[in-house]
Amino acid sequence: MNRTKNSGSQLADKLSLWTNCDGMVVAASEKALPLATVLAKELELPLTINYCTEIPDPSNRVKSIGSVSLNRAITHEYQHDLPQDYLAHQVKLLQHQLRNCPTVPYPSKMANKVVILVDSEIHTTDELLAAIEEARKNNALEVIVAAPTIDPRIVRELFDIVDEVFYLNGTDELVPVSSN
């Protein structure tokens, strides 16, 4: 917990521009909830959850074919060869699992709000695509991704689909990637 508090405090320091703004901190996974809780408290923002999980590729369980959040499902275009009933079943199954996680209420209204999407570690964009899409579809003013660990190979890819990306590198220094 001390490491989580430390990481949350470091992220909050760099995200201090958004303290008490018209926004929300969103935990993107159950594992990210403790970190998101620290960040929300330090930024004086409400905390909510939009858990997001990858849809496993049936031919290679290490790969994913998209992601699912509570209200959205995103699949890769090249996955048209998969049976549609498999995709539909996976989406329903994963959304059912997400809805049965112990959660705080998730507000569907993100319009004109800053959404700070928090995860404990990010290895692929699939881990967040559905949550990002959820924020965009609900007309979020700004979508920010924050995590202690983000695979360096996908930072640019994330930056292409969100407004800001913040992460901690190996020396515990925060590295912002910004459009400004």
Contact indicator for 62, 34 with CB cutoff of 8 Å: no
**Is residue 163 very low, low, confident or very high in pLDDT (cuts 50, 70, 90)?**
very high
If you average pLDDT over residues 94-112, what whole number do you get? Answer: 71
- pLDDT the model gives residue 171: 38
If you average pLDDT over residues 128-136, what whole number do you get? Answer: 85
pTM of the model: 0.76
* CB crowding 6-26: b at 16 or more within 10 Å, else e: ebbebbbebbeebeebebbbb
